[in-house]
Structure 1
Amino acid sequence: MNGLHLIADLYDCRCDVALLTDRERLETLCVQECREAGLTPLGAYFYQFRHDNGENAGVTGTVVLAESHLAIHTWPETGNVTLDVYVCNFSKDNSELARQVFRRVIETLNPMEVVSHSVVRGKIAPRE
């Protein structure tokens, strides 16, 4: 195994609040950005949380990629989001594609503060 895992905590996102509370809009953004970067979405599952009064609350979701996954979770009450993009680099280097998705989703959410980490996962070892 060999891959790149990009992780971000996004604070005080200044995007349209509906993007943080609308499952369909957030799913469309994430799947579209993965496709436009050249990654291969295999499926997506996004869940809409609701307040006791029935109004939309946060959203949690994943896009399963042939190359690995994107995961996102929103807290619209505070404008905060967590974002993970992980790609496998076993048969080819997908790192730049992951960076593009990561950057574009963050730009769309427009946070006041970003705390991010880049983690190289695994290593390539010869099979015996």
Structure 2
Amino acid sequence: MKGLHIIADLYGCRNSEMLTSSPKLRELCVAACKTVGLTVLGDHFYQFDGLDATQDGGTTGTVVFAESHLAIHTWPERSGATLDVYVCNVTCDNSGKAESLYEQLVAALKPADVMIERVWRGRDLPVKKKRLAAVK
């Protein structure tokens, strides 16, 4: 359960299409997860209506993978997005995958400014293994 949790706020995103298209954002997120070697189990993305007839709505989505999750929320009326990338594993360090996933998403959204926090979660605990019953 040890892993890296990256929490980021992106400001001034210059790729407005990714902020307003749930299908395009889903395609980007799922592909990025697979590219860095994560095991995608499922996803759900939702497209919001705009605040009024002159604006496109934002989108929100999650990708669940065996190693944890990605959550993304966009606010096109503010040219912003938030990311939540958590990658963990009981047998190995997947922090490199978390960083690569984060970098791919930031490169695609093209923010002018980012506020980011990295949280190291979990402890090194021994893995409990069940003993097989003796065969009689």
TM-score bracket, normalised by the shorter chain, equals: over 0.9
Q: Which amino acid aligns with 2:21?
A: D
Q: Which amino acid aligns with 1:27?
A: R
Give the aligned partner of residue 47 of structure 2: 48
Give the aligned partner of residue 23 of structure 1: 22
The two structures have a TM-score, normalised by structure 2, of 0.87
- 5+ residue gaps, structure 2: 129-136
Give the aligned partner of residue 113 of structure 1: 113
- Name the SS of the counterpart of 1:35 in structure 2: helix
The question of 1:73 aligning with 2:69 is answered no
CA displacement, residues 89-120 of structure 1 (integer Å, 9 cap, x when unaligned): 31111110110010010011110001111100
The question of 1:13 aligning with 2:39 is answered no
Aligned 8 A contact 1:72 1:81 in 2: yes
Q: Using the alignment, how far apart are the partners of 1:4 and 1:101 within structure 2? A: 12
- 5+ residue gaps, structure 1: none
Q: Using the alignment, how far apart are the partners of 2:85 and 2:127 within structure 1? A: 27
- Name the SS of the counterpart of 2:93 in structure 1: coil
- Name the SS of the counterpart of 2:57 in structure 1: strand
Give the C-alpha shift of residue 84 in structure 1.
Answer: 1.0
The question of 1:96 aligning with 2:92 is answered no
The two structures have a TM-score, normalised by structure 1, of 0.92
Give the aligned partner of residue 3 of structure 2: 3
Higher radius of gyration, 1 or 2: 2
Aligned 8 A contact 1:89 1:95 in 2: no
Give the C-alpha shift of residue 125 in structure 1.
Answer: 2.1
Aligned length: 127
Task: Identify the structure with the greater strand proportion.
Answer: 1
